[in-house]
């Protein structure tokens, strides 16, 4: 839960600047079935989005997710893209590596 709170605080700082930004996420390791803590974190994020989604739509130009280096998560993440975009608001992109993710994040800001 601490990581979620920190992540939301960092997003608050970005939104407070009232400037466009992109988010880049590193490859995510498969977690399996969500734990009770995972579920609580998701609830916290959804509550935060009730007030912050408008700012996310306005200022966050993209959420760029980096896939696993072996591409093993590509199909699963492709299914998640519309869900993530619908939840948070910004366009969501998948990239094969960190360099491509960085290039995509910069390109949507220009």
Between the CA of residue 53 and those of 19, 71, 73, 86, what are the distances in Å? 15, 30, 27, 10
3-state SS string over 43-91?
HHHHHHHHHHHHHHHHHEEEEEEECCCCCCCHHHHHHHHHHHHHHHCCE
Q: Is the pLDDT of residue 1 over 90?
A: no
31 vs 6, which has greater pLDDT? 6
Q: What is the pLDDT of residues 39-79, one digit of tens each?
A: 999 999 999 999 999 999 999 999 999 999 999 999 999 99
What residue ranges do the domains of the chain occupy?
A: 1-108
Q: Kindly report the pTM of this predicted structure.
A: 0.90
Q: Give the model's pLDDT for residue 99.
A: 98
Q: Give the model's pLDDT for residue 31.
A: 74
């Amino acid at each position: 839960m601490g990581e979620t709170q920190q992540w939301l605080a960092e997003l608050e700082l970005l939104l407070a600047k009232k400037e466009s930004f992109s988010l880049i996420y590193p490859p995510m390791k498969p977690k399996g079935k969500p734990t009770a803590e995972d579920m609580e974190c998701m609830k916290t994020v959804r509550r935060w989005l009730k007030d912050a989604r408008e700012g996310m739509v306005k200022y966050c130009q993209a959420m760029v997710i980096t896939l696993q280096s072996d591409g093993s998560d590509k199909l699963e993440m492709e299914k998640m893209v519309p869900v993530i975009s619908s939840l948070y608001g910004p366009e969501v992109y998948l990239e094969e590596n960190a360099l491509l993710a960085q290039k995509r994040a910069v390109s949507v800001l220009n």
